[in-house]
Chains A and B, each alone.
Chain A
Amino acid sequence: DAGVIQSPRHEVTEMGQEVTLRCKPISGHNSLFWYRQTMMRGLELLIYFNNNVPIDDSGMPEDRFSAKMPNASFSTLKIQPSEPRDSAVYFCASSPTSGRSSYNEQFFGPGTRLTVL
């Protein structure tokens, strides 16, 4: 079975440029999460969606960051304009929540390593 798919795997860009990260969750999973990981701050939740609806975006650092989930099989995280402090690994994860019960297990994609020069 295909796991969570992310693209690109690596992105190098210059300060001020727009960056778009993409994620395809595991088929049938209803929740999707965007995380950022750095050495200094560890793994931070940026935003998560349930049934394509944003539920909690309190982790989004500022207005330069935006995320969308137009359908159950695709999500984007956009940074505009990018800054050097945005350099990190960005992970997407999905979870098979259900109406009756959920054990909230999250499965991570391979991540996108972003470098902003």
Chain B
Amino acid sequence: QKEVEQNSGPLSVPEGAIASLNCTYSDRGSQSFFWYRQYSGKSPELIMSIYSNGDKEDGRFTAQLNKASQYVSLLIRDSQPSDSATYLCAVNRGRYGGATNKLIFGTGTLLAVQP
């Protein structure tokens, strides 16, 4: 079992719809969770971080965390063609700095927003 698992996609949604991206992780001790967006040929860009159970909203993005189910998701409302990219889920076991700030990345989900 991979430490961080994502469906590779592609996930195709029409413009204006809600895109739902999912990620599961295996280490119950994980504390910090991140979503990165990566356009083709570019570097990963941090778009959301979440540390507590529940929802966290930032503009059109909502991150959802359920530690009991070891599940984190990203919702993109009013999807735009410019949202088409690979979305990487990353998990960190420790909340504090020092030797525990290593991130484990999933393989990413390719999102395609159709105009």
Give me the interface of A with B, judged by CB distance under 8 Å.
30-31, 33, 42-43, 45, 48, 50, 55-56, 91, 95, 97-99, 101-111
Contact = CB atoms under 8 A, between A and B. Distances in A.
Interface residues of B, number: 28
Contacts of B106: 42
B interface: dominant SS: loop
A50 B99 contact: yes
Contacts of A106: 34, 46, 90, 103
Contact of A55 (B99, B104, B105): B99
Interface in B21-61: 32, 34, 36, 42-46, 49, 51
Nearest to A45: B102
Contact of B103 (A45, A98, A102): A45
B102 A56 contact: yes
Interface string B93-104: 011111111111
B49 A103 contact: yes
Contact of B98 (A97, A105, A109): A97
B49 A105 contact: yes
A40 B101 CA distance: 25
A2 B42 CA distance: 17
27 contacts: A31-B97, A33-B103, A43-B44, A43-B88, A45-B102, A45-B104, A55-B99, A55-B102, A56-B99, A91-B43, A95-B101, A97-B98, A97-B101, A102-B95, A102-B96, A102-B97, A103-B49, A104-B94, A104-B95, A104-B100, A104-B101, A106-B46, A108-B43, A108-B44, A110-B42, A110-B43, A111-B43
A107 B46 CA distance: 7
Interface string B59-84: 00000000000000000000000000
Given A42-B107, A42-B108, A102 B43 contact: no
A50 B49 CA distance: 21
A92 to B, nearest CB: 9
Contacts of B107: 42
A97 to B, nearest CB: 3
